[in-house]
Amino acid sequence: MNDSNQNRGQWSSSVGFIIACVGSAVGLGNIWKFPYITYENGGGAFFIIYLIAITLVGFPIIISEMVLGRHAKLNTYGTFKELSNNNWFWKLVGLLCIFSAVTILSFYSVVAGWTLDYFFNSLVGNFQSLTFENAGPRFGEFVGNGEKQVLYHTIFMFLTAFIIYRGTKGIEKAVKILMPVLGILVFLIACISFYTYGASDTISFMFNFDFSKITSHGVLEAVGHAFFTLSLGLGVMIVYGSYLPKGFSLVRAGIWITIMDTLIATFSCFMMYPIIFGTQMEVKESAAILFTTLSVQFNALPMGNVIAALFYLLVAFAALSSTISLLEPLVSFIDETYKINRKIGTIIGAVGVWIMGIASALGNGASEFFTSLALMDKLDYFTSNWSLPVGGMLISLFAGFFVSEKAKRDEFTETENKVFFKAWNFTIRFISPLLVLLVILYKIGVF
């Protein structure tokens, strides 16, 4: 352990740590992305593959990342460097992780900005005239408006940088209150949707296991999303784990993160699908369903605009607790590798990501050039489906084969060592990496 480790930040409590990790995991991936990719991939079979991936790949890898981070007490790159004795390949993997985080943040911040627009407009009552027919075109117009897109992207990157700059204590407190409120609201809205439009279509859609509907693309997407939604494969959990004092149970944290994340994702589908099936609205752009279903449905509720505003605000918060976790790996890397002051590192990092994000902000109709590049879709596809699974597979192998058993055992409690360690160690050595590899080979068309 080197000296600089002594000055590193630490989580205030184990609950604070779990909350921050849940904050990172729960975000647009659950509320915006999961419902739409599940919808596109035909429901049931996709959902099951996703659940298998969460259990056999996601959960063991969360623990691996935290074990690595807490053991090394360094940023992602530093962790690989230190634990591999300066091996060039593993250092490259560390850099790949940081690259993935930066790339995701660049487009994630744009989508996060959309929630701000929906918050403001709901609050002032502008959405009272929305119907299931005009909600789609309104959304299209909005994402095609360059000034607004850049403005909201800027606000979101600014908020993210501001929190990283000031330290994470404030966000820990905010997330502690807001996350449970979001969870309750998602649950209540799902109940209202079921009550209004009936549950049967949604349930049969989500739980019909018709595997003939699934394509190799869908399998890769389900596995890729398991990484995305749990914030895995890019070292976020390595960095968060590195701020964790000894003695907190990583297994307990892993269980909480996995369960909360999966519940919110599932209930997000339950909020939107009954509306889609019940009203038989036309879904032209499934990526828009978070905005085109609920914004209209809220109108039917008493004080609908206030509830809508609250909902989109909470989603913005969920996104913010994810964006800060996406910026942190870069900032801690700059800080610890180049010994640049953390605050300056934050500014350099945030400005860089902000510039990258402009391409996504202008790529939904605002600029012909950027729209033809369709960078947002491509970056999302490439990171979620390729760089995160490959990163996760390598992290799993690294933790499995390159870290001594004694070092790993040290990160677990006594009971966990007895009942859990062997199964986990076996899974991250053989099962999780192999499953990811099989999925990749299947996608490439090897079998």
Residues in contact with ligand PHE by CB under 6 A are 24-25, 27-30, 104, 228-229, 231, 234, 236, 322, 325-326
- Cβ-proximal residues to 388 (8 Å cutoff; 6+ apart), any chain: 100, 224, 227, 228, 232, 233, 234
What 3-state DSSP class applies to 361?
A: helix
CA distance from start to end of the chain: 46
Residue number with CB closer to ligand PHE (297 or 321) = 321
Which phi and psi angles does 169 have, rounded to 5°?
-55, -45
Whole-angstrom distance, CA of residue 380 vs CA of residue 333? 23
Neighbours of 45 (CB within 10 A): 20
Residue number with CB closer to ligand PHE (328 or 336) = 328
Tell me the closest approach of the beta carbon of residue 427 to ligand PHE, in angstroms: 21
Residue number with CB closer to ligand PHE (109 or 322) = 322
Residue number with CB closer to ligand PHE (21 or 281) = 21
Residue number with CB closer to ligand PHE (67 or 237) = 237
Whole-angstrom distance, CA of residue 252 vs CA of residue 347? 35
Residue number with CB closer to ligand PHE (380 or 411) = 380
In this structure, which amino acid lies at residue 164?
I
- Which of 388, 258, 283 lies closest to 35, judged by CA? 283
- Which of 318, 313, 315 lies closest to 123, judged by CA? 313
In this structure, which amino acid lies at residue 410?
D
Tell me the closest approach of the beta carbon of residue 238 to ligand PHE, in angstroms: 11
**Are the C-beta atoms of residues 75 and 329 closer than 8 Å to each other?**
yes
Which phi and psi angles does 313 have, rounded to 5°?
-65, -40
Residue number with CB closer to ligand PHE (16 or 224) = 224
Whole-angstrom distance, CA of residue 142 vs CA of residue 146? 9
Tell me the closest approach of the beta carbon of residue 433 to ligand PHE, in angstroms: 19
- Which of 23, 97, 106 lies closest to 330, judged by CA? 97
Tell me the closest approach of the beta carbon of residue 58 to ligand PHE, in angstroms: 11
Residue nearest to ligand PHE (CB): 29
Tell me the closest approach of the beta carbon of residue 262 to ligand PHE, in angstroms: 11
Tell me the closest approach of the beta carbon of residue 318 to ligand PHE, in angstroms: 7
State the greatest distance between any 2 C-alpha atoms of the chain, in Å, as a whole number.
Answer: 63
- How much is the CA Rg of the chain, to the nearest whole Å? 21
Tell me the closest approach of the beta carbon of residue 358 to ligand PHE, in angstroms: 20
Q: Is the dihedral angle over the CA atoms 240, 242, 245, 247 positive or is it negative?
A: positive
Tell me the closest approach of the beta carbon of residue 29 to ligand PHE, in angstroms: 2
Residue number with CB closer to ligand PHE (281 or 313) = 313
Tell me the closest approach of the beta carbon of residue 380 to ligand PHE, in angstroms: 11
Whole-angstrom distance, CA of residue 444 vs CA of residue 216? 9
Residue number with CB closer to ligand PHE (41 or 109) = 109
Whole-angstrom distance, CA of residue 145 vs CA of residue 204? 38
Tell me the closest approach of the beta carbon of residue 104 to ligand PHE, in angstroms: 6
Neighbours of 2 (CB within 10 A): 10
Residue number with CB closer to ligand PHE (28 or 66) = 28
